[in-house]
């Protein structure tokens, strides 16, 4: 997702890093007490007996500047591998799924992304100029899902063309922290540079999952940051494993909303960290965002935070459930400056 420059008028919007050219003072952005769960949650869920029945997660949220918001989401039915769908809204709360979902799926054959695609992070740079990075894989190997990162372009945000026949970011070499898989979390452009936050790990043990950063001048040729991983889990805490970093910039400070998982992988929650350079991060003392109360739909999980500034309010979309074995759905929290 690209940059939203805001001085009362959105010049370029994509739901990505949100940069205010003359921002009013904002306090408490990283305090869960200032965020309110929408009473109508969940706002989007899978359809019975459809491809997204069991799992549906927000990937990108983009304000088109025309009164319509696009939400790209990934999902599966518990059997068919992950695919990408699209939903639209005029207010950020009521959503309609696109009639021809899924809009992006595994290509089959022997391609590197033949089996499944997931976590599409999208930038809209101008009319007819859409870019996306996504996780793709062949069939699982030895129980591991060996994702790499691919690139696709579109003229309308719906019909996508893959770039080349190979991923643009691949797993690290033997012994590297991201040698098992890499999955994109948030892409944006700042100045002439593309930034892509992604997460990776060695295997399916989420305690070794961490967040890395790659940069590019063209969105195709990427360089992984020498300091990777730039954000790691806090051993033995609620965020023993970390993933799904999403950035917002306010008054010169970068806020990264991220997902943290317990070491037993039975619970997750959302946290926030801050940085002045996009590389060195400090966790908020207010972490984590509490999950819903006992019996609520979001009591066990808090995943994949994606933010957008719309109508003066901040909206944070997230995936949750009441039990890891039950269908996961999308809800929203709001912050009013």
Give the CATH number for residue 253. 2.115.10.20
Residue 259 domain-assigned (yes or no): yes
| Residue-level pLDDT at 1 | 37
Residue 93 domain-assigned (yes or no): yes
Residue 100 domain-assigned (yes or no): yes
Asked if the model's pLDDT at residue 178 lies above 50, the reply is: yes
Report the percent of the chain where pLDDT is more than 90. 81
| Residue-level pLDDT at 281 | 98
- 260: Cα within 13 Å, side-chain hemisphere: 24
Residue 28 domain-assigned (yes or no): no
Residue 42 and residue 48 in contact, taking contact as beta carbons nearer than 8 Å: no
Q: What are phi and psi of 208, to 5 degrees?
A: -100, 5
Q: Report CA Rg, the chain.
A: 18
Residue 274 domain-assigned (yes or no): yes
Residue 244 domain-assigned (yes or no): yes
The mean pLDDT value for 49-53 works out to 96
Residue 284 and residue 275 in contact, taking contact as beta carbons nearer than 8 Å: no
| Residue-level pLDDT at 145 | 76
Range of the structural domain that residue 94 is part of: 38-324
Q: How many domains does the chain have?
A: 1
Asked if the model's pLDDT at residue 2 lies above 60, the reply is: no
Please give the mean pLDDT across all residues of the chain. Answer: 91
Residue 93 to residue 41: CA distance in whole angstroms: 9
- Pick the more confident residue, 14 or 123: 123
């Amino acid at each position: 997702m690209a940059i939203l420059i805001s001085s009362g008028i959105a010049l370029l919007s994509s739901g990505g890093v949100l940069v205010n050219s003359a921002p009013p003072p904002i306090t408490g952005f990283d305090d869960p007490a200032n965020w309110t769960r929408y009473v109508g949650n969940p706002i989007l869920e899978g359809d019975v007996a459809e491809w997204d029945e069991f799992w549906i997660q927000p990937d990108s949220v983009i304000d088109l500047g025309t009164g319509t918001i696009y939400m790209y989401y990934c999902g599966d039915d518990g059997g068919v591998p992950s695919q990408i769908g699209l939903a639209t809204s005029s207010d950020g709360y009521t959503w309609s799924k696109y009639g021809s979902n899924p809009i992006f799926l595994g290509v089959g054959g022997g391609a590197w992304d033949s089996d499944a695609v997931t976590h599409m992070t999208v930038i809209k740079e101008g009319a007819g100029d859409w870019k996306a990075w996504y996780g793709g894989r062949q069939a699982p190997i030895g129980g591991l899902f060996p994702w790499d990162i691919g690139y696709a372009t579109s003229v309308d945000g719906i019909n996508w063309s893959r770039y080349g026949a190979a991923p643009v970011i691949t797993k690290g070499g033997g012994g590297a922290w991201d040698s098992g898989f890499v999955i994109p979390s948030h892409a944006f452009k700042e100045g002439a540079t593309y930034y892509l936050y992604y997460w990776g790990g060695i295997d399916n043990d989420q305690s070794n999952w961490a967040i890395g950063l790659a940069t590019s001048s063209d969105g195709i040729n990427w360089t992984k940051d020498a300091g990777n991983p730039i954000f790691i889990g806090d051993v033995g805490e609620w965020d023993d494993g970390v993933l799904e970093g999403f950035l917002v910039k306010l008054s010169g400070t970068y806020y990264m909303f991220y997902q943290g998982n317990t070491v037993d992988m039975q619970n997750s929650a959302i946290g926030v960290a801050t940085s002045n350079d996009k590389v060195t991060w400090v966790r908020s003392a207010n972490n984590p965002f509490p999950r819903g109360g006992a019996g609520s739909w979001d009591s066990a999980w808090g995943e994949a935070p994606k933010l957008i500034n719309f109508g003066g309010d901040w909206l944070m979309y997230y995936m949750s459930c009441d039990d890891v074995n039950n269908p996961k759905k999308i809800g929203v929290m709001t912050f009013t400056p």
